[in-house]
Amino acid sequence: MEEEQRARQWFLAVWTIVTVVKIAIASRLPLFVDEAFYWQEGQHLAAAYSDLPGLTAWLTRLGTEFGGHHVLAVRAPFLLLAGVLPWLVARSAAHWFGAAVGWQAALLTVLMPLSGTLGLLALPDVPMAVATVLCADAGARLLRDVDAMSATELALGLMLGALSHYRFVGVIGVGLIALLWLPEGRKVLRDARVWVALAVGLLAWAPLLAWNLEYADAGLRFQLLDRHPWAFHGDGARFLLVQAALVTPLLFWAMLVVCLRGLRGSEDAGTAWRYFALLGAISTLGFFLIGFFADNERVSFHWPLPGYLALLMVVPLLLRTWSPARRKASWGIAGIGAALMLGYYVVVSLPGLRTQMAGSKYYPENFAGWDTLAAEVRKAQAGLPEGTVLLADSFKTGAELGFALGDAEIPTLDHPLNRKHGRAPQLRLWGLEHDGKRSVPTLLVVAATDVKFSALLAHYQQLCAVVGPLPPAEVVNIDHGARRFLLFALPKEPAGGECMTPVVANIDVPEAGATVGRRFSVGGWAVKDVVGVTKVEVLMDGRVVAEATDASANEWLTVFLKGASRDPRMPRVQFNVELDAGALPAGRHWLGLRLTGGDGSVETWAEQPVVVR
C-alpha cells in the first residue's frame, strides 16, 4: 500500500507539471509544417485525405471551432488525448500487475521522451497512441475472458486507430501475431464476438479505402511505394542508437530485456506479461528490420512508439529486480531525457533562443519564421495593385502562410515537396494546384531554403519556365538567413525577354562556425543568369566591411551547377577579399554578403557564424 501511494503521488506530481509545461509550450510554439497542412485539411472537411484518414484534420477543426484561430486551439484536442494516455496505461497495467505497477507505468509514459512530449504537436501519432493502448488492453482482457466490454473496447480502439493513420495497420498485424503466438490467444480468435469487433474496426477504414478507390490509390501508393525505396540501405543500423537516445538508454535496455523474455516464454512471465512483451518485441524488431529498406529521408524515429507503450506496462516489474542504484538511475535518466526534450521545444518556441541555433544542423527550420514572413507578405500586398492574388511555391509555404494569414485557399505551384510528402493529390482535389498562368497581378512567395542548395539555380530556372521572367525579388531573411524567402511581384501578364534569376552565392572561406583571427580572407562565388553580379559587398553583423573588386575563374563551379548557369561572366565568378576585423570585439559574429546584379537588383545573402579571436 505504501508503494502504491508513493507511486501515485509521484505520477500525479510529474503528470501535472509536465502537462502545464506542455500547454505553455504549445501556446507559443509555431506550427510545424505538417500541423499547418492538417489545419488546412480541417478547413476542407472530408471523410479522408490524400495523406491520412480524417481524424487528425477533424481534431484540428474541432480545436479551432471552440478555441479560435490560435496555435493552442489547433493543438488542444491532441493535448487532451495525450493527457489521458498515461491514465489509460495506468488502468491497463494496474488491472494485471497491481495498482503500484500501474502508477509506475503511467509515470514512465510521462517521462519517456517519445510519449511524454505527445500532444505538443497536432499529429496523428497522438490518437494512434491512444488507440494502441485501448487495443492492447482489450487484447489482454480477452485473453482472460471474452466478454462484451472487452470486445467493445477492442472495437473502439480499432476504429480510433483506423481513423488516425495508415501505420495502424501494423499495430493490428502485431496484435494478431501476438494472439496467434499464445495458446490462449488462438482460443480468443475462435470467439465470434472478437470477430464482430474486428469487423467494426474494419468498417472504420471504409472512408480511406473509398478515397483511394476514387483517386487511383494515390494515398496507398504514396504510403506503401512512393515514399519508400524498398532497397537495402545501411541507415537502419542507427535504429538502436537513435531509439536508445529518444527512449533513454537504461529504459530502452529494460524494454529489450522484456522483449527477449517475451519471445523466450520465460517461466516467470504470466500470460498478460508475455502478451504485452510480445506486442513490443514484434513491433520493435519489425521496425528495426524495416528500417533497412524503408524511407530514410523523412522523420521515422517515432514509428516504434506503439510497441513501447505495450512494453511500459511490464517494464516496472523488471525494474523491481534491478539494484536500487540501477533502478534510481533508470528513473533519473528518463526524467533528464524528458526535461531535455521539453527544453528543446522551449528553445524552438522562443525566437531569441532559436536564432542562436541558426547556421547549425539543429536549426528547426520547419518551425521558424512564418509569422515574420506573413508580416512581410502583408506589407508587400499593401503596396501592390488591388486584386493582387497570393501564390505559394509549395504546400509548406501555402499551409503555413495560410494559417498565419487565416486563409486556407492559397494556391500552390507544382513542387517536388508536394509529391515527396504526398500532398499533391489533395491540392489538386481542392483546386489549389496552380499551373503558373495568370490574368491578375500575383505575389509569388518562394521558400529558397526548401530546395537543396545544389538544385537552387535549376529551381529558379524552372520557376521562370512556369511563371515567366521574374522581377527583382524582395528578400526575407529570417534568423540570419537560415530561413530565406523571396517575394516576387508578378505583373498581370508575363513580361517579355529573358529571365534573370535571383542570385545564387556561397562563402567557401571561412567555413561556417570557423574561428578566425583579426585579419582573415573571405572567398566565395556568386552567379546570376543573364546579367551577372556586378558588386559583392562583405557584411559583418549586417554592416558593410569590405568590397570584392576582382573576380577569378572557378572551373569547379561549372561542374557543380551542371553547366546550367547563364551568368555571362562564367567561370570568372570567384571573389576573394581580405577582411580586417580589428574593430570588432572577440566572439561570435555573422558574416554575410550583399550582392548587386547587372540589372541593379540588390539581394542580401544568408549569413554564417564565425568566431573572432
Per-residue pLDDT tens digits for 346-402? 999 988 888 888 877 788 888 888 999 999 999 999 999 999 999 999 999 999 999
pLDDT at 93 over 60: yes
Three-state SS across 465-503? HHHCCCCCCEEEEECCCCEEEEEEEECCCCCCCCCCCCC
- Which helix (H) or strand (E) segment holds residue 490: the answer is strand 483-490
Give the model's confidence band at 208: pLDDT under 50 very low, under 70 low, under 90 confident, else very high.
very high
Task: Tell me: pLDDT of 15 over 90.
Answer: yes
Grid cell of 364 as nine digits:
528547426
Q: Is the pLDDT of residue 343 over 90?
A: yes
* pLDDT tier at 217, thresholds 50, 70, 90: confident
DSSP string, 43-57: TS--SB-SSSBSHHH
Across the chain, mean pLDDT equals: 92
∠ CA 284-286-287, nearest 5°, is 70
The predicted structure's pLDDT at residue 268: 56
**Single-letter residue type at 274:** R
pLDDT band at 269 (very low <50, low <70, confident <90, very high): low
d(CA 191, CA 58): 34
- What DSSP state is assigned to residue 236? G
What φ, ψ does residue 112 adopt, rounded to 5°? -65, 120
Q: CB–CB of 392/412 below 8 Å?
A: yes
Q: Please name the amino acid found at residue 480.
A: H
What is the CA angle 273-139-253, rounded to 5? 35
Confidence (pTM): 0.93
Please tell me the distance from the alpha carbon of residue 118 to that of residue 115, in angstroms, as a whole number. Answer: 5
Give Cβ neighbours of residue 177 (< 8 Å, ≥ 6 apart).
Answer: 278, 282
pLDDT category of residue 587 using cuts at 50, 70 and 90: very high
Residue 486 — very low, low, confident or very high, per pLDDT cuts 50/70/90?
Answer: very high
pLDDT top residue among 61 and 368: 61
* Average pLDDT value for residue range 291-309: 78
* 182-197 pLDDT tens trace: 999 999 999 999 999 9
In this structure, the number of other CB atoms found within 10 A of the CB of residue 110 comes to 26
The three three-digit cell numbers of residue 451, written as one number: 530546395
* pLDDT of 231: 79
Secondary structure of 339-362 in HEC code, one letter for each residue? HHHHHHHHHHHCHHHHHCCCCCCC
Per-residue CA distances from 327 to 198, 292, 319, 330, 600 (Å): 40, 33, 6, 5, 68
SS3 state at 588? strand
Q: Where are the beta strands (DSSP E) in 511-586?
A: 515-516, 519-527, 533-540, 543-548, 551-552, 574-580
Residue 382's pLDDT is: 94
Task: Of 23-32, 237-246, 296-305, give the range with the top mean pLDDT.
Answer: 23-32
Residue-level pLDDT at 254: 95
Q: Which burial class, exposed, middle or buried, applies to 556 when counting CB atoms under 10 A from its CB (0-12, 13-18, 19+)?
A: exposed
Average pLDDT of the segment spanning 398-427: 94
Q: What is the pLDDT of residue 291?
A: 75
Mean pLDDT of 479-487: 94
Report pLDDT for 228.
73
pLDDT in tens, 94-125: 999 999 999 999 999 999 999 999 999 999 99
Give the C-alpha distances (Å, rounded to integers) separating 97 from 100, 484, 525: 8, 54, 66
pLDDT tens-digit readout, 444-479 = 999 999 999 999 999 999 999 999 999 999 999 999
Can you tell me the distance from the alpha carbon of 404 to that of 33, in angstroms, rounded to the nearest whole number?
A: 12
C-alpha cell at 311: 512494453
Please choose, from the candidates 136, 443, 424, 123, the residue with its C-alpha nearest in 3D space to the C-alpha of residue 301. Answer: 123
pLDDT interval class at 204 (50, 70, 90): very high
Higher-confidence position of 580 and 136: 136
So what's the pLDDT on residue 266?
60
The three-class DSSP label of residue 611 is strand
CA distance 98 to 21: 29
Start-to-end CA span in the chain (Å) = 62
